[in-house]
Structures are given as C-alpha cells and as structure tokens.
Amino acid sequence: HREPAEIVKKLFMLGIMTNQNQSLDKDTIELLAAEYGINAQQKVHEDISDIDKAYSKAMEASKESKNQIKRPPVVTIMGHVDHGKTTLLDRLRHTHVSDHEAGGITQRIGAYQVRLDDRLITFLDTPGHAAFSNMRARGAEITDIVVLVVAADDGVMPQTVEAIDHAKSANVPIIVAINKMDVPGANPQHVTEQLMKYNLIPEDYGGDTIFVDISAKTGQNVDDLLQMILLQADVMELKADPKQKAIGTVIEARLSRGRGPVADILVQQGTLHVGDPIVVGNTFGRIRTMTNDRGRQVKKVTPSEPVEITGLNDVPESADKIVVFDDEKTARSVGEQRAQQALQKQRENVTHVTLDNLFDTMKKENMKEVDIVLKADVQGSVEALQQSLEKIDVEGVRVNIIHSGVGAINESDVTLAGASNAFIIGFNVRPTATAKSQAESDGVDIRLYSIIYKAIDDVTAAMKGMLEPTY
C-alpha cells in the first residue's frame, strides 16, 4: 500500500501530471507498477471472463428455470450435392416465411424462420455438413435436428453417408426427406432400404427415424415435413427461458461499409434487447440495431430467433458465443481481455489426439473410446480394417470408427476428425492437397498405411503407450 501523495510524486517524476482524485488509465498503472516492481495484472473477472463458462452456466440455469417455454427447433439441411438442399431451403423461404405482409424480399441473415400453423421452425441457411461440423469443431452446437435430403432417383451417395456420420457423431437426430418424388424414376423404397444399412430405420420397420417423401420442386408434402420436424421437436422437449439474460451464437459475421461489424446471430436463451452490452467471442459492444429475417428492425429477440446485429467493436467469428453483461464497462474489459488471451493462444498450438499422444490423452481425458475416421481404396479393405480395428480392446478401451469410406481423404474427413477429436487412417489412399493443409493447420493426425496388420499393430501399440516413434 502506498500513500496517494507518494504516488502523485512518483508520477510527476515519470513526467505524468495528476492529482489524488484523478483516475489513472491502464498504461499509467502499468508504468507505475513497473516502477514499484509489481506485475500489474489487470483485474481478472474470473467468474465472467470465461465466456464459455458463463454461456454454459446460462444454458444449465435455463434447464432448472420455472420460466421455460417451448422454443422453435433449429434445423440444418444436409445431403449429397444436387439432391435438392438449396431448392428446399428456397421453397421454404418463399412459401412459408413467417409473415407475408412484409411483401418484400427476405434478408439473407444466415438463418430464417418458417411458420406452420402457429409454430415456428428456424432453418440455418447454409446447408451441408461442412458448415455444421465447422461450427461444432469450434464448440457451437446450435442444430437441434438434421433434415437429410436424399434424391429418390439417385439414392444414397458418398456425401449422404458423410452427412449421416456427421449428424450421428454430434448426436443430432435425423429426419429423412426423400426428395424429387415428382421425377419419373423416383424409387423411395430403394432409398429406404439403402438408408436402413446406416441404421436409419423407419417406424414401419420397427425403427424410430421419421421418413417423409417430398418434392422440393413442386412443394409436394413439404408441409408434412414441417409437421414432422415439429413432432420431433416436441419429442425432444426443446425449451428455453426467455426471462433470463440472453445468450446466443454467431452464425456468420462480416464488416459492412458504413455499418461497421455486422453479425448474424441466433439467440438461444433469454431475450436480447437493443442497447444490451455484450461480449461476442473476443469482441464486445452494445447492440445498436437488430434486423430480422424479413428485413425489419426489432427491439427484442427471443430464443431460436435469428437476427443481424450491429454495434460491435470488431468482427467476431462464426460459432463465437454471445453473453450479455450488466454494464458496458464490464463488457468492454472482458472483451479486451479475451482479445489478448486469444492472441496468446494463437501462439501456443492446440493439440488434438494423435497416434503419438494417444496413450497420454487416453489417461488424461479418461477416454473410453478411440475415435477413428477410416478411408481406403476399396470397400473390401474398408471392411477388413474396420472389423480388425473394432476388435482391439486395450483395458476396456475400444476403437470406434466414426466414419469410413472409399476414396481419398477429403476436407470433410478432416473436419469431422477435428470436430470429434479423432484421427484419420488412410489405407492405400492419400489426402487431397486441401485436406492435407487443413489437417496441418487444424492439428489433425493422418496416418497412411499399405499393410493392414501394420495399421492394427500401430493403433494397438499407441493405445498401450508403446508406439515406436517414426522419424
């Protein structure tokens, strides 16, 4: 403890004129602390500076809350290229938007809401599993239900399988929409049989997966699909507490000329208001405007509602978490602190599971399963490897193949592995150039083999902590 007079004197000697009643800025405090040999750490808001924790806490709190009410489900559409994802999203946007009197063109804000009878459904506007798993890899789990679009005239294709595995690995229920029913060659029965091999079993066959035959082009049965989404949502009892302080997630963000940083966000709990001080990822601000999917300015937003917000200090990243604070000053200091921490983190590298650190990671994280993505040149090898790998049992820890397929290791494999903390085994295949560089930057381990028993031996040895290092 120092007397104020002494500090004023010291500052005077440092060339800073001040008096006892003036507050000091951060730089001056640091300077002063250095003079006294103290390491000036800005006061850390331990309980709130960790936005992830504050976010999870708010999520948990809502589950206990008596104010919980039903909230609209959030849906991502997935499926193979050209099977009709975009057509379905467009049809829904144009025929089912929540009110028509707006008359205008809907805004593209990363997600939109559709109304059926008196209930709403939120659709994320970027279809496909890449966006889905990228969000997940960054810790955002905003999708409640996946609609898997499969063309009735084409059937299950590689990206259909990828989508199934991505959804399953995220534990998100799948509703199957067999599309293009208007096409003469449509064969929904065949598609259903194919999907049953992936454990998507319709109720008629004793399973619990919802199947709907639709045509995104003609609109046939699209209402049924919406009805089924709502039914699934009811089964899941999706709820939120609109009365608590709001939390949400960034869907996408950009810098707008004239308006500054703009973020499309999804509110998940509570009610977000214009004027709320917020921290968003590593940035902060006070909400200046909110615009909904119909281009309308709104003053407040409730759970599952997507809006575009302005008023942020910097452009956040997609999947960033949003937490509301009581006052702008705290939001600012937390935001600034997080920006600093993020810079620091960037320098240290994040570690993923690799064959080399597998044993240590298994012990440290008390892993019960070792997740692997498996790619090979022919189906026979995929099956042989999968069977052998799944037989490995090291002290009760088993191998779980979260995705397998024939062909080169692609970006989707790397994204899935990254999101699931898995590593990749390639048998007689290589990664594509983009997959290779993505794996390097994401820290995903890819192991290539051309002898089956060598792959089995390596995985077994790694699980026992006895893998010979490779040079």
For residue 137, the minimal CB distance to ligand GDP (Å) is 22
**CB-based contact 150:195 (threshold 8 Å):** yes
Cβ proximity to ligand GDP, 162 vs 305, nearer residue:
162
Biggest CA-to-CA distance, the chain: 90
Closest CA to 147 of 191, 177, 127, 185: 177
Cβ proximity to ligand GDP, 157 vs 274, nearer residue:
157
Sketch the per residue contact string, 145 through 174, with ligand GDP: x for CB under 6 A, - otherwise: ------------------------------
Q: How far apart are CA 158 and CA 82, in angstroms?
A: 12
The gap between the terminal CA atoms of the chain, to the nearest Å, is: 57
Choosing from 30, 141, 182, 356, the residue that interacts with ligand GDP (CB under 6 A) is 182
Does 81 help bind ligand GDP (rule: CB under 6 A)? yes
Cβ proximity to ligand GDP, 83 vs 352, nearer residue:
83
Residue by residue, DSSP assigns 189-215 as HHHHHHHHTTT--BGGGT--BEEEE--
**CB-based contact 407:400 (threshold 8 Å):** no
Match 């049924």 to its residue by tokens. Answer: 224
**CB-based contact 263:253 (threshold 8 Å):** yes
The residues pairing with 291 across neighbouring beta strands, listed in sequence order, are 297, 308
Cβ proximity to ligand GDP, 215 vs 269, nearer residue:
215
Q: How far apart are CA 179 and CA 127, in angstroms?
A: 15
Closest CA to 335 of 345, 350, 324, 351: 324
Q: How far apart are CA 348 and CA 341, in angstroms?
A: 11
For 144, half-sphere exposure in the C-beta direction (CA atoms, 13 angstrom radius) is 24
Q: How far apart are CA 385 and CA 397, in angstroms?
A: 18
For residue 216, the minimal CB distance to ligand GDP (Å) is 4
Q: Which stretch binds ligand GDP (CB under 6 A): 110-118, 175-183, 266-274, 396-404?
A: 175-183
Q: Is 270 annotated as belonging to a binding site? A: no
Choosing from 58, 216, 267, 455, the residue that interacts with ligand GDP (CB under 6 A) is 216
Q: Which stretch binds ligand GDP (CB under 6 A): 179-187, 252-260, 279-287, 344-352?
A: 179-187
Q: Is 81 annotated as belonging to a binding site? A: yes
Q: How far apart are CA 384 and CA 30, in angstroms?
A: 63
Structure tokens at 38: 């103290």
Structure tokens at 230: 């709502």
Q: Which stretch binds ligand GDP (CB under 6 A): 211-219, 231-239, 281-289, 388-396?
A: 211-219
Residue 199, CA distances (Å) to 91, 420, 432 in order = 29, 20, 29
Using CA of residue 317, residue 321, residue 326, residue 331, what is the dihedral sign? negative
Choosing from 215, 313, 318, 420, the residue that interacts with ligand GDP (CB under 6 A) is 215
Q: Is 302 annotated as belonging to a binding site? A: no
Cβ proximity to ligand GDP, 11 vs 147, nearer residue:
147
Q: Which stretch binds ligand GDP (CB under 6 A): 57-65, 180-188, 262-270, 343-351?
A: 180-188
Choosing from 138, 190, 217, 398, the residue that interacts with ligand GDP (CB under 6 A) is 217
For residue 219, the minimal CB distance to ligand GDP (Å) is 9
Q: Which stretch binds ligand GDP (CB under 6 A): 214-222, 328-336, 345-353, 401-409?
A: 214-222
Q: Is 80 annotated as belonging to a binding site? A: yes
| Size of the residue set binding ligand GDP (CB under 6 A) | 16
For residue 164, the minimal CB distance to ligand GDP (Å) is 15
Q: Is 454 annotated as belonging to a binding site? A: no
List binders of ligand GDP among 84-143 (CB under 6 A). 84-87, 127
**CB-based contact 116:130 (threshold 8 Å):** no
Q: Is 179 annotated as belonging to a binding site? A: yes
For residue 81, the minimal CB distance to ligand GDP (Å) is 5
Q: Is 181 annotated as belonging to a binding site? A: yes
* Residue list, annotated binding site for GTP: 79-86, 125-129, 179-182
Q: Which residues bind ligand GDP (CB under 6 A)?
A: 79, 81-87, 127, 179-180, 182-183, 215-217
Point out the annotated binding site. Answer: 79-86, 125-129, 179-182
